[in-house]
Structure formats: C-alpha cells, structure tokens
C-alpha cells in the first residue's frame, strides 16, 4: 500500500521540529550560562576561583616585573638602603592586589561585551598602572630602610661643642631614658654660661649650606629631609624638645625620604614594564578571541532564529493537516523527543567534556580547567532542567488532545463559541472533513441499495 504524501510531509516536518526544539533549548541554555558574563563571574565567585582566573590574565605582567632588570635604581639617595627581596613574590603580591575580584569581574564583563558585539576592542587592553603602583609600594615599604643616623653625618660633622653625628641620633632615638641621658651629657659638656639657644642657631646656620652642597645632585626633598633630621637633633640637645616630638620629627623626615625612594622605584618599574597589556596579543590569554567572537555572534543570532523556525514548522503542520489535534500531537511528540535527546546528550557529554577540559588544563600547566569545568557543568544542568520543562509541555499537549477528544473540554469549546466534538460516533473535529465523510457515507448507502435490488431481480429470473 503506497504511503500517503501528507504522511511523508508530516514526518519530515516532525523531524525538523525535533531538531529545532533541541537546538533552541541548547542555545538558550548556553546563553544563560557559558555565554552570560553574570553567570560566569557568579560561578567564579561561588567557587572562589579568582586565583586560577588571575594567573592567565597577568602572566605577562608577572614575568616582566619578576624576571626583568632590578626594579631598584642603581643609585639611591644617602641614608636609603635597599635589602634583597624576592621579586617574584613581590610581583605576585602586586598582581593579586591590583587584580582583585572586582577588577577580574570587570575584565570578564568587558570581554563578554566584546564577544557579543556590545563593546569595542579597547576592553581587551588592560592598564598596568595599578599593578606597577602596588609593586613599587611593596618594594618601598618592605625592602627599603631609611637610616636617619647615617643622615646625621651628611655634610660633615658640625664643629664646636655641638657634635651632630650618627651616634648622637642613635642614642636619642633608643628610648626616652637614653634620650634624656644623652641630652644631659651634652649640656654638662658645655662651658658654664653657654647660651644654648644661640649655639643652636649658629649650628643650624652651619648645617644648612653644608647639607645643601652635599646633596646638590639629589631631589630637593632629600636635602630638606636631611636638614630636618639634623635640625631636630640640634633642638633635642639644646632646646626643650620632648622625646615624643623628636621621634615624630625624625619619622616625618624618614617618611619624606621613603617617598623619594618610592618615586625612584616607580620610575624604574615604568622603564621595565609596559603601560598596558593586550589580552588578545600574541602571548595574551585570549589571543583567539576574534574566532570565538564570530561563533558567539552566530549563536546570538540563532537563539532568535531557531525558535522562530520552530514556530514556522508548527504553522506548516497545521497548514498541511488543518487539524488542531494533529498539530498538537506532532508538536507534543517533537517536544518529548527533543527533550529526551538533550537529556541524553547532557548525560553522555558530561564526562567527555570534563576529560577534554582536564587534558587542556594539564597541557597549559594550570588549574584554569577547573573553572571551565564548573561553568560547563552549569550549562549541562541548565540543559537538563530546560529539557524537563520541554517534556512537560509535550505531555500537556497530548493531555489537551486526549481531553478534547473525550469531550472533557466541551465546556471550554462552548465558552469559545464552538460546538462539542462527538468523537465517539466517529465525527471529525474538522467541519470540512465531517462533510466529506457524510457525503461518502450517503453514497455508500445508495450503492448498497442498488446492489440489493439487482441481486433480487437476478434471483427472480432464475428457473425453478
């Protein structure tokens, strides 16, 4: 028996509808998870994976800061000593400080904006100003010592009864009791009747030009800091300066010198490290982002096109059959089949994707695969949940058809101004089909009557 063309067309439309529903569900799951920056940053935060994300973003920065030339200037102002330090550890710390969670989230959102065509290429360029500032700050705070005692000798020791030298500063700073003892010893050494205030003024007058000459090649801040330390020492010995006030003045001068050292370090770092890094550069972490952007752009388009195609296919099914029941059954069957396919793919693909991610991560020598794995797991979970929803819709469509065919929706039909469907007597829901069936049945009855009359006549003619 030849297959009806309508049946073949309906089967083809059903298969296409299954593909459209399955594809649309997959695309929507992807847009909600792996292609959504909010979902990605939320997953990273929930799993606390910022360390893994940070590493590939700032590899270039870390290498330039840790493996380049010495970030400390070859020459430093007097009284400034640089201790050896672990460059890589300092670089790691600077990167961690500058690229905290908020900065990483902003970077990821910018990249996703570029992938989806919402932002330009400028979002792929990262400024390193914060990183370099953090690196210079740590070097300045932890690797640089300011020796105030050494600065007491800059310009040469003062002549006369007021000897300002490193030993004097060390004793004055040692403790309050040492401070008082040192001042008392100095005053006892003065000739009777010495005007300490006048002596202090003469000493300062000698100190200032001597220090200025000795530090002529340095920044003015260095000269001012050295003078401030020596003047504070003069006031401590000859005046009424308290121990606390003396310490504060020395600390302020040291802070000024530390600031000068920090500026020197920052200048050196600026010479070594670039101002920016391009994430899509030859050695950048997303150097193939343009290929990915083309794919994402296509998916963004398909996420709207595929559902529209599915609706069009449903319309073609109805146009071909002119039957709401057949359309609903075909759609429901497509939903159930597509849901089953998506769930099966999610289950089978989970292990394969995890293995591929692990292999890629191992090849790169990092743990970034764990981040990708979490995001992909979320995509597969979303696909399964959506598939269950699609399956429920399919069941609902079958349920509506069954309820309508058994007359359980006659009340609804009546409210909509449509007559009941008496399918138990074989009446079709399609008025045109019902009319054709009625005419066919009437014709069959007339033919049956004619055949009966003919048989009766032939029997009468037969002999006894």
Q: In angstroms, rounded to a whole number, what is the distance separating the alpha carbons of residues 372 and 374?
A: 5
pLDDT at 425: 41
Specify the higher pLDDT residue, 459 or 236: 236
Q: In angstroms, rounded to a whole number, what is the distance separating the alpha carbons of residues 132 and 339?
A: 53
Report the predicted TM-score, pTM, of the whole model to 2 decimal places.
Answer: 0.71
Specify the higher pLDDT residue, 103 or 354: 103
Mean pLDDT of 447-460: 39
Q: CA separation (Å) from 227 to 70, 204, 262, 396? A: 30, 9, 20, 89
- Given a contact cutoff of 8 angstroms between Cβ atoms, the answer to whether 71 and 87 are in contact is yes
pLDDT in tens, 29-65: 999 999 999 999 999 999 888 888 887 766 666 676 6
Residue whose pair of structure tokens reads 């006659």 in the numeric block: 410
Q: Beta strand pairing status for 276-278 and 125-127?
A: antiparallel
Task: Specify the 3-state DSSP secondary structure of 80.
Answer: strand
| 158: confidence class by pLDDT, cuts 50, 70, 90 | low
Residues 6+ apart with CB under 8 A from 440: none
Specify the higher pLDDT residue, 172 or 430: 172
What is the dihedral angle through the alpha carbons of 41, 45, 51, 52, rounded to the nearest 10 degrees? -50
pLDDT in tens, 72-102: 666 677 788 888 888 888 888 888 888 889 9
Residue whose pair of structure tokens reads 């070859």 in the numeric block: 74
| 349: confidence class by pLDDT, cuts 50, 70, 90 | confident
């Amino acid at each position: 028996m030849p297959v009806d063309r309508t049946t073949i067309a309906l089967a083809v439309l059903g298969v296409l509808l299954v593909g459209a529903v399955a594809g649309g569900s997959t695309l929507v799951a992807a847009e909600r998870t792996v292609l959504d920056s909010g979902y990605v940053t939320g997953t990273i935060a929930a799993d606390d994976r910022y360390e893994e994300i940070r590493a590939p973003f700032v590899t270039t920065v870390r290498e330039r800061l840790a493996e380049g030339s010495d970030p400390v200037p070859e020459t430093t102002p007097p009284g400034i000593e640089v201790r050896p330090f672990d460059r890589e550890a300092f670089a790691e710390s600077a990167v961690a400080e500058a690229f905290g969670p908020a900065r990483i989230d902003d970077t990821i959102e910018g990249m996703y904006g570029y992938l989806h065509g919402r932002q330009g290429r400028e979002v792929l360029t990262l400024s390193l100003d914060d990183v370099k500032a953090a690196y210079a700050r740590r070097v300045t705070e932890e690797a640089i010592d300011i020796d105030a005692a050494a600065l007491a000798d800059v310009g040469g020791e003062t002549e006369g009864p007021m000897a300002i030298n490193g030993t004097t500063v060390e004793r004055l700073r040692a403790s309050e009791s040492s401070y008082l003892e040192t001042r008392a010893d100095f005053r006892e050494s003065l000739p009777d009747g010495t005007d300490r205030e006048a002596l202090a003024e003469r000493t300062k007058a000698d100190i200032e030009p001597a220090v200025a000459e000795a530090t002529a090649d340095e920044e003015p801040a260095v000269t001012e800091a050295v003078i401030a330390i020596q003047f504070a020492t003069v006031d401590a010995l000859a005046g009424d300066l308290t121990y606390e006030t003396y310490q504060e003045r020395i600390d302020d001068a040291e802070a000024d010198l530390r600031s000068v050292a920090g500026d020197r370090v920052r200048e050196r770092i600026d010479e070594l490290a670039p101002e920016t890094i391009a994430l899509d550069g030859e050695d950048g972490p997303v150097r193939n982002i343009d290929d990915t952007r083309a794919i994402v752009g296509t998916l963004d388009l398909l996420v709207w096109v595929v559902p529209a195609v599915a609706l069009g296919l449903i319309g073609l099914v109805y146009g071909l059959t002119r039957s709401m029941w057949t359309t609903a059954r075909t759609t429901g069957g497509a939903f159930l089949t597509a849901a089953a396919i998506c769930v099966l793919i999610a289950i089978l693909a989970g292990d394969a994707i995890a293995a591929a991610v692990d292999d890629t991560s191992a090849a790169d020598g990092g743990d970034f695969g764990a981040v990708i794995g979490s995001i992909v797991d979320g995509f597969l979970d979303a696909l399964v949940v959506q598939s269950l929803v699609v399956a429920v819709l399919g069941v609902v469509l079958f349920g509506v058809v069954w309820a309508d065919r058994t007359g359980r929706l006659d009340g609804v039909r009546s409210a909509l101004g449509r007559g009941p469907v008496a399918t138990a007597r074989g009446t079709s829901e399609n008025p045109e089909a019902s009319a054709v069936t009625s005419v066919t049945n009437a014709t069959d009855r007339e033919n049956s009557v004619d055949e009966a009359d003919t048989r009766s006549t032939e029997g009468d003619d037969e002999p006894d």
